[in-house]
Structure 1
Amino acid sequence: MRVRGTPGAPRHGRRALVVIAALAVALPLAASSITGIRPNVTSAAPAATVAPSPDPAPAGPVTAEDRRILVRAESLLTRDCMTSAGFQMWLGTSPPADELLSFPYVVDDIGWARRHGFGSDLVQAVDARRRADPNQRYVSGLSPQRRQAFLAALNGARPEGLEARLPSGGVMRRSAEGCTSAAQRQLYGGLTEWYRSSKVVADLTYLRQRRVLADPAWTAALRPWARCLRQQGYTADTPERLRESVGPRGRADEIAAAVAEARCAQEGLAATTRALDAHHGDELTAAYHQDVAAKNRLEHGAIPRARAVVAAEH
């Protein structure tokens, strides 16, 4: 789970105001949280929107259930590969449903706000699971030499062989060797195309959110929202400033402020945000349609293999 900041902040914390997204959804193994397992990112000009060749019949995204199967299959393949390399690895577990909800602009679910405020309790829960992660404990208990061998077996010795130029600028690189790449190659076939297209499409989420927050319609919709907040005793003019005003004053204050934020969002900000998010999402999908289509095609093609891997687990 991540709670991210606003545009203009450093790369690791700039994407959104509140985002609840569990590691187990984005990453196939609990070991993904192990210190030292990170992608290689360097600066570069934004990626071009033109890919080498169009996909003849672009497929839509896979279903949530199929995506769950893909993640599970990749986890199993990676674990088996690491076992063959002489290491232990445990699979991650799916997070609770409330952790899967994301509010990148404003909390607009009153029930969720009453349960979680701005999500500080969920952040603590994820941190607790990370500390209890058997993969983390296992790797921490290895000798320095053995730990380095574990990371090399998982990710490859050097971040070379795979590259993706991100639409927002910068380049991500990863080794084409190691068990992560072996599992993805077995599932998706074209590892180079999969790595590039999946990273490009993931980066579109950041771009979409940045465009929404910079849209004049978003700024205009904040004004009546802020007036509503003032009627409830808060003077913040953005969701970010509301969180800052609450600060560490306690759980009850956090929940009260989050409920006020969500209630006031019902007066127009929530609907405007959904419309802007869809509009900018459609524009970016069209601009990077070849990467989007390539990722969808590769995922659809991988589903039969993933189902076979998951079935063999039982």
Structure 2
Amino acid sequence: MRVPRSRRRGRWLRAWLAATAVAAVALPLAGSAVPASPGRTGGVGADDRRVLGLAEQLLTRECMRRAGFELWVVPPAPADQLRSFPYVVDDVAWARAHGFGTDLVAATDERRRADPNQRYFAALPAERRVAALAALNGARPEGLEARVPSGGVVRRSADGCTSEAQRQLYGDLPAWYRTSKVVANLSYLRQRRVLADPAWTAALRSWSRCVRQQGYPVDTPDQLREAVVTRGRAAEVAAAVTEARCAAGGLAATARELDARHRADLTAAYRREVATRERLEQAAVPRARAVVAAESARR
């Protein structure tokens, strides 16, 4: 039976949004101190961010098609594959299911290998692949620049389909690139500050005593992972559960408190960049919804 277009459109959009409950990112081993998503900074919530991500993919795909190349809209990984613990695993149920997350790293690698875009680019002849990458990313990393809070400068081409899609959504592409890179880098800087905070060090001593009592002679969560990494799945899960249970003795609460405090300090220190990114995102949401609506109407 043929489904009316309006119903097909609604089903397609709901299915994609359900599949994109979280933003697509690479998953590190749980607990490692790496940059994380900066999260919500103001009036743009998770639903709007999902629509922004989908719209950017759709616009990029259309640009690549005009350039003579294919691109597929790919939903991000399931939520479990995207969760990370930058300080300490503090969820016992998650630890029982995933240990320190090595199974999820493997699943992410498998998704990457199965990604139709990765396979498409890999299958192109060498010269054609160079042309496709230039169409997507621009020929040279020139035109966009951001000095990030942790030090250094990052650059990207202002040309190419990625930049064209973001320009259509956010308008002021240089401002969007600069502020998005700065705000994303605040996560890394925040985590560094938490791990260097004397309150974290004090709480860590209590956590260490707890895991030592359970047979793990380590001082930090990183050392615990290293101690069990070659012992197999059962040993990984047992150690992760111990880590989470001992974190309930104060380390998890300390991590949350320090993370919130340093987040607030960094947001205040970079309030102009945070506010600019938020303003550009808010202005982009109606454009993104129009792009998604037009796509679903064609389905």
What TM-score do the two structures reach when normalised by structure 2?
0.87
Look up the equivalent residue of 2:66 and give its one-letter code.
S
Q: CA deviation at 1:2?
A: 3.0
C-alpha separation in 2, matches of 1:215 and 1:20: 17
Aligned residue in 2 for 1:17: 32
Residue 86 in structure 1 maps to residue 68 in structure 2: yes
Deviation string, structure 1 residues 76-125 (Cα, Å, up to 9, x no partner): 00001001100011111132121232200000000000000000000000
Deviation string, structure 1 residues 253-301 (Cα, Å, up to 9, x no partner): 0000000000000000000000000000100000000000000000000
Q: How many residues align?
A: 269
Q: Percent identity?
A: 68
CA contact (8 A) 1:20 1:99 kept: no
CA contact (8 A) 1:159 1:175 kept: yes
Residue 146 in structure 1 maps to residue 128 in structure 2: yes
C-alpha separation in 1, matches of 2:245 and 2:29: 22
Aligned residue in 2 for 1:165: 147
Look up the equivalent residue of 2:186 and give its one-letter code.
L
Aligned residue in 1 for 2:27: 2
Aligned residue in 2 for 1:295: 277
Look up the equivalent residue of 1:221 and give its one-letter code.
A
Look up the equivalent residue of 1:135 and give its one-letter code.
N
Identify, as 1 or 2, the structure richer in helix.
2
Aligned residue in 2 for 1:205: 187
1:118 aligned counterpart, secondary structure: coil
C-alpha separation in 1, matches of 2:176 and 2:84: 25
CA contact (8 A) 1:166 1:199 kept: yes
Q: CA deviation at 1:19?
A: 6.6
Aligned residue in 1 for 2:50: 68
CA contact (8 A) 2:29 2:102 kept: no
Question: Structure 2: 5+ residue runs without aligned partners?
Answer: 1-25
C-alpha separation in 2, matches of 1:4 and 1:115: 14
Q: How does 1:43-192 map to 2 (within 5 A)?
A: 60-192=42-174
Change (3 A) 1:20 1:176: closer
Which of 262, 266, 272 is residue 244 of structure 2 equivalent to?
262
Look up the equivalent residue of 1:60 and give its one-letter code.
G
C-alpha separation in 2, matches of 1:134 and 1:101: 24
C-alpha separation in 1, matches of 2:145 and 2:188: 19
CA contact (8 A) 1:18 1:107 kept: no
CA contact (8 A) 1:62 1:299 kept: yes
Look up the equivalent residue of 2:65 and give its one-letter code.
T
What TM-score do the two structures reach when normalised by structure 1?
0.83
Look up the equivalent residue of 2:198 and give its one-letter code.
P
Look up the equivalent residue of 1:17 and give its one-letter code.
S
1:103 aligned counterpart, secondary structure: coil
Look up the equivalent residue of 1:94 and give its one-letter code.
P
C-alpha separation in 1, matches of 2:79 and 2:65: 31
